[in-house]
Amino acid sequence: MISVKHLFMCLTAGGHPVTILNNVSLEIPEKQMVAIVGPSGSGKSTLLGLIAGLDKPTAGSILLDGVEITRLAENDMARYRRQKIGYIFQSFHLIPTLTALENVAVPLELNGDLNAKTRAAELLWAVGLVDRLDHYPVQLSGGEQQRVAVARAFSCRPPILLADEPTGNLDTTTGHQVIDLLLSLNRDQGSTLVLVTHDPALASNAERIVTLRDGRIESDQPQ
C-alpha cells in the first residue's frame, strides 16, 4: 500500500545544507496501523508530509497503492490526494468561514458528491457533533475542532489516513476521546493508518512502531 524507498530530504538553512531525512525506506501494507515516533527534529512530520504529497523529496520514491506520487504533477497530486488520502493536522486547519458541516463537506463537493451535506452530517453524528453542525470553528472547543478535522479526513473514505500529532493540542481526556474515535473509524472503514505522535497512549494502539532519529529509521518493531 505505502512504499518509501531511499528517501532523502535536504534543505538549506543559513546558507548551510541540512539533511532532514537520510535514506529512509519503509513498507506499510494495506490496513496496518503504524505509529512514527522519535524526538523533535527527527523528521517525523516531514516524512508524513512527503507521504501525503504535500512536498517533494530531494531524492527517492514514494508509491501509494502502486502509484509513484513523486512523479505526479501538482494538479494530478492534488486530485490523487482528494481521492486516496485523508490528512489530520495537529492544528486542525479548518476553514474559519465555514461551519462544521461545510468543512466536512468540502472534500466531498470537490469530488462531485451530490450528497455531500448528507454524508457530512452522518460523519459529524458519528464523531458526536450532531448538535454542532452549524457552528463555526471559533465556536468550537479544541477537542470539537479536532473531531471535525477527523470527520473531514474520513469523508471520502480514503484508503490511506495520515495523522500528524492528532492529540498534540488536546488535554488528556479529550486526547483519549480522539484516540478512540480514530481507532473506531479506522476499524469500521479499514483504512491504512499512519500517525506521527509523541503520545505513548496513542502509539501503544499501533500494530507497529517506527522510531526515527536524526532523519534515519532507528528501529521498526511490531507490537
Q: Is 58 helix (H, G, I), strand (E, B) or coil?
A: coil
Tell me what pLDDT residue 129 has: 93
107 lies in some domain: yes
- What residues make up the domain containing 82? 29-58+72-222
Residue 48 lies in a domain: yes
CB 116 within 8 A of CB 104: no
**Interval 82-91: pLDDT, tens:** 889 999 988 8
Let me know if residue 216 belongs to a domain: yes
Instruction: State the Cα–Cα distance between residues 209 and 211, nearest whole angstrom.
Output: 6
Closest CA to 77 of 110, 107, 54: 54
In the structure, what pLDDT confidence band is assigned to residue 168 with cuts at 50, 70 and 90? Answer: confident
Q: What is the mean pLDDT of the chain?
A: 92
User: Is 122 domain-assigned?
Assistant: yes
Is 190 inside a domain boundary? Answer: yes
Report which DSSP code applies to 139. Answer: G
CA 105 to chain centre: 18
pLDDT given at position 68:
96
Quick check: 72 pLDDT over 90?
Answer: yes
Q: What's the number of domains the chain is made of?
A: 1
Q: Decide if 23 is inside a domain.
A: no
- The confidence score (pLDDT) of residue 132 equals 96
pLDDT of 107 > 80? The answer is yes
Helix (H, G, I), strand (E, B) or coil at 70: helix
Strand partners of residue 120: none
Tell me the mean pLDDT in the region 108-125.
Answer: 93
List, in order, residues 6 or more apart from 91 with CB less than 8 Å away.
Answer: 169
- The answer to whether position 160 is within a domain reads yes
Nearest CA to 213 among 21, 5, 14, 17?
21
pLDDT reading at 188 higher than 90:
no
Torsion sign (Cα): 145, 128, 120, 30:
positive
pTM: 0.91
- Please tell me the distance from the alpha carbon of residue 106 to that of residue 117, in angstroms, as a whole number: 9
Report the alpha-carbon distance of residue 6 to residue 83 in Å, rounded: 26
Domain at 218, CATH number: 3.40.50.300
Q: Do the domain assignments include residue 21?
A: no
pLDDT greater than 80 at residue 212: yes
The confidence score (pLDDT) of residue 116 equals 96
pLDDT interval class at 178 (50, 70, 90): confident
- 109/39 Cα distance (integer angstroms): 38
